[in-house]
Chain A
Amino acid sequence: MPLSANTLSYEFDEEEIGFGKPQVAQTAHAQPLSGGLKFSLAMVAVGLLSLIVQTAGGLLAGSWLGLALSLGLLAVGAALAFWLQHRGSVAGIKHDGIYFSGLMARGGAAWIAGIGMTALYVLIYWFPQVLGQPVDGAGPTGLIRVVDPLARVMTGYPAEKWFLYGVLYTGAILVFGVRMMMKYRHNRYQQIRTASVAFFQLIFAWFLPNLL
């Protein structure tokens, strides 16, 4: 039987050991971040810090500038980062590494994000006062106060937890919509679908209900 010694000695346990991320000698594509990407991620960092500061009642809390420098910077920075990340790649399905990525494959970053987002829902439903929900005629404080200027203009009332939730949810749809459009620029169906979702969320699920 013409089986080589090499073949006969193969005893790898594919079930137990399996296959992890290929480690190359020198990652040829380990480029440092581009200038644009550094700038956009810096915006994300500053926006996040500003949000934390304002939530604690610090500088600019409850002002338009405060809103722009926190949620505004976060959204624009993230959207820009997504655009820059995918701009260089050839259009097409790119699931490379999703099984190795901590964020995509139940790693540490995913756990943090999951617990964090779930905790936010718990706070909104059961402990809104932690987020700064207005009580007994007093204005909003904390995180809810950050979106107060926008709430007064749109609804005519001070901000409360559901307005905050709407801003965060709609913002997420729009920012991650940018990522989706970039990832699926080879697929016209996904482009149209994403644009449709973003439009209906922004106008029919946020703008109009708040206005009326």
Chain B
Amino acid sequence: MLLPVGRHAWLTSSCAGGPKTVHVVIIGNGITGATAALELRQLDHDCKITMISGESKYHYARPALMYIFMGHMSYQDTKPHADHIWEEQRIDLVRDWITGIDTDAKQLALHKGGDLGYDKLLIATGAKSNKFDWPGQDLKGVQGLYDLPDLQRLHETVQRTRQAVIVGGGLIGIELAEMLHSCGLPVTFLVREDSYWNNILPAEESRMVSRLIREAGFGLKLETGLKEIEGDDSGRACAVITDTDERIECQLVGLTAGVSPNKDTAIDTGRGVFVDWSLRTNVPDVLAAGDCAEIVTEGDARNLLQQVWYTGKRQARIAAQVLAGREAIYDPGIWYNSAKFLDLEYHTYGQVNLCVPDEQNLYWEHANGNHSIRIVYLQDRVIGINTMGVRFHHRVCEAWIAEQRPLDYVLEHLADANFDPEFFRRFEAHATAQFKEALV
């Protein structure tokens, strides 16, 4: 709920002799930057907030890029907020790129010229598609799919494209394949692993997805990596060479082998911008959050890199609290994600396919291969749930995992999690019967 603070502006403007208005600058207008800006305005009616982005005038939803391309939505539809609210909330929007951060002088160098001073800074620059030093990776027609420039580049490239190759198998790869398929372009995947996205998906689910990809008519070359991208005389990609020395002609190469944080070199960085659990960097008054941030953990545990929508939002709220001068610690909560592989819906909650020592799995799959339920449990407590083609409610699954419900309880109440539309066939009873047999 947003308060109409615009009307109070003249009451709270700083006057001579009063405290100087704190100027908070946010680099990046993605979900993290935008949420931080709006949240900060709710917490602090007085500070000056500037949000800078070279990508777009207003905040829009990047996950919807594929729908713009396929004609399901217009660009305007992907903007979560009406255009006027930024002015109403007194959040200044600047369309420019930051070419340098001077943390001593607290100045940002703008690409179009000039400097922008800040009192507090939030780096929310997102991530970029991975490139692994492939020869030819900078040719025209080679690109990832992450932001608007990628979408615009895609529109240009498909005009000259008759076949496409997508390198890397994951969520963005399958989205890009669906996009190209929708305008009639044949697509071939090059996937390093032996099954689609099986670093995240367990074997059975991954096999299901690989099968669906083939059924949809896409080429799927597993255990095949990219060796080189060939270019023609005009500097455009014309073919790829795989690491099995196969040459595939194509005019568009999609690089969807994961994303890496977009980071600045003036601040302590590892893979991402290093931050603590309050999202503070090593530089005073500079925070980082979202896809670009890497939360440093104690001991052996891996640092936390979270590159999805909801974590950007959650981190942004913590960043806003800290920017407003409050103490706040980020709690990642129980992991969840949901996506679609073509027409197959995928839900995941908790810890699945993480090789937790002594974990056990119960897996049920429908005979038609389009629905499955997986329960991961550790010493009789349910720690993770995966579903394919079955809609399980986030809040129910999260509660089961948070409350450490025993396996028997979850099996008995499995149907409670289902929120498939009316009249859809429910499989929980069948799955539970099979699970109980397996447990005996």
**A residues with CB within 8 A of B:** 1-3, 7-8, 10, 12, 14-15, 18-30, 90-93, 95-101, 186-189, 192
Pick the 10 closest A-B CB pairs, nearest first.
Answer: A92-B343, A29-B184, A97-B71, A28-B184, A189-B421, A95-B72, A99-B71, A100-B71, A96-B182, A189-B423
Residues of chain B within 8 A of A91, CB atoms compared: 343
Whether the Cβ atoms of B97 and A3 lie closer than 8 Å is yes
CA distance A29 to B184 in the complex (A): 5
Shortest beta-carbon distance, B434 to chain A, in Å?
A: 22
Whether the Cβ atoms of B421 and A187 lie closer than 8 Å is yes
From known contacts A1-B101, A10-B55, infer whether A18 and B149 are also in contact, taking CB-CB under 8 Å. no
Residues of chain B within 8 A of A30, CB atoms compared: 184
Whether the Cβ atoms of B161 and A25 lie closer than 8 Å is yes
Residues of chain A within 8 A of B216, CB atoms compared: 90
Q: Told that A2-B264, A15-B57 touch, could you supply 10 new A-B pairs with CB distance under 8 A?
A: A3-B99, A10-B55, A10-B149, A15-B75, A18-B76, A90-B215, A92-B342, A186-B343, A187-B424, A188-B425
Chain B positions 66-101 with a Cβ under 8 Å from a chain A Cβ: 68-76, 97-101
Question: Is residue B148 contacting chain A, with contact meaning CB distance below 8 A?
Answer: yes
Whether the Cβ atoms of B161 and A24 lie closer than 8 Å is yes
Question: Which of chain A's residues has its CB closest to B425's CB?
Answer: A188
Residues of chain A within 8 A of B425, CB atoms compared: 188
Question: Which of chain A's residues has its CB closest to B184's CB?
Answer: A29
CA distance A98 to B160 in the complex (A): 23
Question: Is residue B244 contacting chain A, with contact meaning CB distance below 8 A?
Answer: no
Whether the Cβ atoms of A22 and B69 lie closer than 8 Å is yes
Whether the Cβ atoms of A8 and B97 lie closer than 8 Å is yes
Whether the Cβ atoms of B97 and A19 lie closer than 8 Å is no
Residues of chain B within 8 A of A8, CB atoms compared: 54, 97, 99, 111
Whether the Cβ atoms of B155 and A19 lie closer than 8 Å is yes
Whether the Cβ atoms of A23 and B159 lie closer than 8 Å is yes
Whether the Cβ atoms of A14 and B184 lie closer than 8 Å is no
Whether the Cβ atoms of A96 and B343 lie closer than 8 Å is no
Whether the Cβ atoms of B56 and A14 lie closer than 8 Å is yes
Q: Would you mind naming 28 contact pairs between A and B with Cβ atoms under 8 Å apart?
A: A1-B101, A1-B109, A1-B265, A2-B265, A3-B99, A3-B111, A7-B97, A8-B99, A15-B57, A18-B75, A19-B151, A19-B155, A23-B158, A23-B159, A24-B159, A24-B161, A24-B183, A28-B162, A29-B184, A91-B343, A95-B70, A95-B71, A96-B70, A97-B182, A186-B343, A187-B424, A188-B424, A189-B421
